[in-house]
């Protein structure tokens, strides 16, 4: 984002009056400080500590609805032995794997627990260039695998997730049809059926009977998803960025989210969930129950010790949040769909929750993409425009960088009329500056609470009105760019298409510049923009400080942010350098620079050189 400041930032006179120059300088400085403060807070804000482990009670933080107690299911005493003896034993003799594959994913099931060992997304890669595995092995080994069972009896849960189920198929299979796992022993009769198609969506039917009675057994995704490379044991391959996880859900068409630190562990909520999802910035695992009115949700929250500095494995270890969830039906048998894949708008908008009519025509999963509430009004069109430009340029991932550059140029050209409006307003201010100075001199020496200060301000306003000067006209080009900057930030942070999109030396537009070339370019270009823009009213020392400190601070901030954001800002600065060169050669620009030179000479106390004659 280019720095465009009022060329007539005039310091207050000796009377301490609140003239236009001070107002301009204060507004510009305040805007810049707010921008830095928000970015700095985003980067340096302390990570929220997860709540201390506690017994699950109704006082814990809940996503929505009423928290229910763990249900009990006990058969009639006389029927227990009969049902147990009547259930034939069904189990596999050894552990086997079944691979389900389509053009989007490759899922590796194990018959031990009838759960998932690996869930590879073919169109997305990890930092090592291999297909991204949604299952993090270290976390899955400790906290459980996807599509495992969750019950309120820990011994039963262990038995269900360790048993060797009899699969309906083994080996490699195309993602069409179904895969069923069956296990029965000592009164237990368990069936899991998965149905697949060409999409990211699976259909899951599961039922656990104990002595002929249904058990409230939920399907779980217990231990995060997505990149999660910070949990890898090898520091050489460990991601330097932490995964940001959250819980998402929808009730009555209203989407809600909760950050990881606020999610309770092992808390049950019985509500009409249209969907409930575990998500990070780019991927999600969303359960969509067939009967929302009977849905039950369990939130899972664990911790895993990681080095406080991921680049230094010997640094002090601190607990990091690991989120999960489980969903099922209050009546026992579970029937739901599962979406496990990227948070890509074109895909999410095709997936609907169940509506009141029992058909999949309810809300879509698009709210999982967190562009923000009011900021989303800018971020979503910006994302669509970037995507349109990228499609126009071609399918290569490097074209996202060119799309950012082209859209930035177009935006700056569209803002060019406001730039000329601001310069005309600044020129008017510069022309009347002697009259402003005269008013200030008449009221010099006033105290801050002197009533005559109001008279001075009234004279100033009357002068502005008579001369047709807009006090804040010079700041107009800056105002639209502030929300655009943060909209770019949200798009780059949440658009999965920009994940690992490269552009020349930039290997990932959603990550910081690895060579720090763009932050250095921003420092130089911001300095040039400041140097080339006339600011006759600003004190020379203050002008030098702003010309140096502002670029350095912004370069440091963007040192740690997405390189796509730095690409936008740097492009804006380069475009504005070219524009300013053109403006400086115009009649208006030459007049402004001439006035600036005269005022600088006057403030420096320079006058005509006197040559002493010889005696």
pLDDT for residue 604: 64
Residue 121, beta-bridge partner list: 105, 132
Q: Determine the Cα–Cα distance for residues 131 and 103; give it in Å rounded to an integer.
A: 12
Question: Bigger pLDDT: 42 or 430?
Answer: 430
Residues 477 and 501 in one domain: yes
Give the domain CATH number at 163. 2.70.98
pLDDT for residue 411: 86
Residue 42 is assigned to a structural domain of this protein: no
Residue 615 is assigned to a structural domain of this protein: no
Q: Is residue 276 within 8 Å of residue 249, measured between CB atoms?
A: yes
Q: Determine the Cα–Cα distance for residues 459 and 28; give it in Å rounded to an integer.
A: 24
Report the SS3 class of residue 373: coil
Last residue of a domain, one of 370, 388, 412: 370
pLDDT for residue 296: 95
Residues 135 and 151 in one domain: yes
Residues 424 and 335 in one domain: no
Number of domains in the chain: 2
Among 158-172, 181-195, 289-303, 582-596, which is the least confidently predicted range?
A: 582-596
Tokens 């912004």 belong to residue? 554
Residues 206 and 233 in one domain: yes
Give tens-digit pLDDT for 80-120: 444 455 568 899 999 999 999 999 999 999 999 999 999 99
Residues 305 and 405 in one domain: no
Residues 153 and 185 in one domain: yes
Residues 353 and 403 in one domain: no
Residues 315 and 385 in one domain: no
User: Would you say residue 299 has pLDDT above 90?
Assistant: yes
Last residue of a domain, one of 315, 346, 370: 370
Last residue of a domain, one of 327, 353, 370: 370
Phi/psi-derived region of residue 364, left when phi > 0, alpha when psi is between -120 and 50, beta in every other case: beta
Q: What are phi and psi of 564, to 5 degrees?
A: -65, -35
Residue 506 is assigned to a structural domain of this protein: yes
Residue 288 is assigned to a structural domain of this protein: yes
Q: Which domain holds residue 365?
A: 66-370
Residue 1 is assigned to a structural domain of this protein: no
Q: Determine the Cα–Cα distance for residues 235 and 310; give it in Å rounded to an integer.
A: 8
Q: What are phi and psi of 357, to 5 degrees?
A: -85, 5
Among 185-199, 258-272, 312-326, which is the least confidently predicted range?
A: 312-326
Residues 360 and 381 in one domain: no
Residues 397 and 271 in one domain: no
| CB neighbour class for 8 (10 Å; exposed up to 12, middle 13-18, buried from 19) | buried
Residue 126 is assigned to a structural domain of this protein: yes
Instruction: Give exposure, 467-477, as e/b (b: 16+ Cβ within 10 Å).
Output: eebbbebbbbb
Tokens 């699976």 belong to residue? 202
pTM of the model: 0.77
Residues 362 and 387 in one domain: no
As a whole number, the mean pLDDT across the chain is 80
Residues 341 and 404 in one domain: no
Among 369-373, 400-404, 476-480, which is the least confidently predicted range?
A: 476-480
- For 589, the token pair is 């620009």
């Amino acid at each position: 984002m280019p720095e465009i400041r009022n060329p007539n930032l005039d310091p207050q006179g000796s009377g301490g009056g609140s003239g236009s120059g001070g107002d301009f300088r204060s507004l510009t400085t305040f805007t810049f400080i707010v921008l830095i403060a928000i970015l700095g807070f985003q980067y340096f804000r302390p990570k929220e500590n997860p709540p201390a482990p506690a017994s699950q009670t109704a006082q814990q933080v809940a996503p929505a609805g009423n928290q229910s107690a763990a249900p009990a299911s006990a058969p009639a005493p006389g029927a227990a032995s009969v049902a147990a003896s009547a259930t034939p034993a069904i189990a596999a003799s050894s552990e086997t794997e079944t691979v389900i594959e389509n053009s989007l994913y490759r899922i590796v099931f194990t018959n031990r627990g009838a759960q998932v060992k690996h869930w590879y997304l073919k169109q997305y890669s990890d930092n090592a260039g291999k297909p991204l595995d949604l299952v993090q092995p270290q976390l899955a080994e400790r906290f459980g695998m996807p599509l495992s069972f969750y019950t309120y009896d820990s011994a039963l849960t262990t038995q269900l997730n360790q048993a060797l189920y009899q699969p309906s198929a083994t080996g490699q299979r195309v993602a069409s049809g179904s895969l069923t796992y069956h296990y029965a022993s000592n009164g237990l009769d368990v069936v899991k059926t998965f149905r697949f198609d060409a999409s990211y969506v699976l259909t899951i039917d599961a039922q656990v009977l104990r002595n002929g009675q249904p058990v409230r057994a939920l399907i779980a995704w217990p231990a995060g998803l997505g990149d999660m490379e910070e949990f890898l044991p090898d520091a050489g391959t460990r991601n330097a960025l932490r995964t940001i996880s959250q819980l998402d859900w929808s009730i009555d068409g209203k989407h809600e989210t909760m950050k990881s630190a606020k999610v309770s562990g092992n808390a049950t909520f019985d509500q009409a969930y249209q969907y409930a999802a575990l998500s990070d910035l780019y991927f999600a695992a969303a359960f969509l129950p067939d009967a929302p009115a009977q849905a039950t949700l369990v939130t899972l929250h664990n911790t895993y010790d990681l080095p406080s500095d991921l680049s230094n494995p010997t640094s002090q270890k601190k607990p990091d949040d690991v989120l999960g969830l489980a969903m099922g039906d209050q009546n026992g048998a579970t029937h739901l769909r599962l979406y496990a894949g990227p948070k890509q708008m074109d895909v999410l908008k095709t997936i609907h929750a169940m509506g009141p009519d029992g058909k999949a025509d309810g809300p879509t999963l698009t709210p999982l993409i967190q562009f923000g509430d009011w900021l989303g009004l800018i971020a979503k069109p910006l994302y669509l425009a970037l995507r349109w430009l990228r499609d126009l340029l071609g399918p290569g991932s490097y074209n996202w960088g060119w799309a950012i550059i082209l859209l930035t140029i177009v935006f700056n050209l569209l803002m060019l009329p406001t730039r000329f409006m601001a310069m005309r307003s600044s020129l008017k201010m510069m022309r009347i500056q002697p009259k402003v100075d005269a008013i200030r001199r008449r009221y010099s020496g006033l105290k801050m609470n002197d009533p005559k200060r109001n008279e001075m301000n009234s004279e100033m306003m009357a002068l502005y009105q008579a001369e047709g000067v807009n006090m804040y006209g010079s700041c107009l080009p800056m105002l639209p760019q502030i929300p655009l900057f943060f909209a770019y930030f949200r798009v780059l942070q949440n658009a999965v298409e920009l994940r690992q999109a490269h552009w020349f030396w930039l290997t990932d537009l959603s990550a910081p510049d690895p060579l720090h070339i763009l932050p250095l370019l921003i420092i130089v270009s911001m300095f040039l923009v400041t140097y080339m823009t006339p600011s006759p009213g600003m004190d020379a020392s203050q002008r030098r400080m702003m010309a140096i400190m502002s670029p350095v601070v912004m370069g440091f901030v963007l040192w740690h942010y997405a390189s796509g954001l730095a690409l936008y800002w740097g492009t804006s600065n380069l475009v504005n350098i070219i524009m300013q060169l053109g403006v400086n050669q115009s009649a208006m620009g030459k007049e402004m620079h001439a006035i600036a030179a005269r005022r600088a000479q006057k403030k420096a106390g320079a006058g005509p050189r006197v040559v002493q004659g010889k005696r």
